[in-house]
Amino acid sequence: MTKPQVAIVGAGQVGATTALWLAKRNLADLILVDVVEGLAAGKALDLQQAGPLEGFDVTITGSTDLAAVRDSAVVVITAGLPRTPGMSREDLLTANANIVRPVVETIQRVAPHAILIIVTNPLDVMTALAAHVSGFPRERVIGMAGILDSARLCHFVSQHLRVPASHIAAMVLGSHGDEMVPLLRYTTVAGQPLTQRVDRAPLEHLLQRTRDGGAEIVRLLKQGSAFAAPGASVAVMVEAIVRDTGAIYPCSVSLEGEYGLRGVFLGVPVALGRRGIQRIVELELTPDERAALHRSAAQVQAGMKILGL
């Protein structure tokens, strides 16, 4: 049976690690694309040689030519400059817009029916840019962010309580940045609300560490940024799309009235399937939660305004 094709634009740490997580799932044949001569082809060959050891049987190829993404069901865009110590996501705005824009223009031409997953930071604004440039319907332009932020919160809670991370369910909405909105009422430990397990002071520390999750890794690495967890987050999204599971994850999508917001890309729960976004899930929010989500949206809108979106 012919496997679907998934393309990853950008063969750096995030792109290559995404390819590894996807290959281990035996979901699809993979194409890595990067402007650096030999980078995508070399990483593709290395990954392919891991197949006999890890038990995956997919074709992985590399190219410098974006036309190679033709016929891809899903195109993941990780291409862009990483953050360096002291650099905010907003600092990357103009530089990465100049990378994402021509990439999306080519994808729109050679793979007009693909689902786009955007990983490049600042995530929400780059997703808005990709939607604007491609003209694709909102179902097919999705930003990866809330899954990663939720996973980080799960990890920090797991460490604090010394319980398996698999027993924790977290939900983080809003922008991928300082104004993210962890929903504590929807974050549970073995079904019990997190607020009943963790006192307010340590809880605030866990939430702040989640907000700073990417920056903390940047400081430790000194060169580059997170790649393992972002790659795994993308793989989870692609699996839901390719397998048409309808699984619900927080992703950055275009809001058209949901949560009282319009004309902005923001992380909210969505069901993912073979068409991309199957539906947007509207959770009941308290007035404080809704206000926090709207503050988060205002931050994204400011970035969109800089790009004229």
Annotated active-site positions, please? 176
SS3 84: coil
Where b means 16+ CB within 10 Å and e means fewer, 19-45 reads: bbbbbbbebbbbbbbbeeeebbbbbbe
Tokens of 104: 């999306």
From 110, 105, 115, select the one nearest 138 (Cα to Cα): 115
Q: What's the CA gap between 253 and 301, in Å, rounded?
A: 13
CA dihedral 108, 256, 126, 140 (to 10 degrees): -40
Q: Could you write out the DSSP letters of every residue in 156-208? A: HHHHHHT--GGGEE--EEB-SSTT-EE-GGG-EETTEEGGGTS-HHHHHHHHH
Q: Which one-letter amino acid corresponds to residue 161?
A: L
Look-up of token digits 């400011």: 302
Please state, in angstroms and rounded to a whole number, the distance separating the CA atoms of residues 80 and 127. Answer: 13
Number of other residues whose CB lies within 10 A of the CB of residue 219: 12
Residue 281 near residue 271 (C-beta atoms within 8 A):
yes
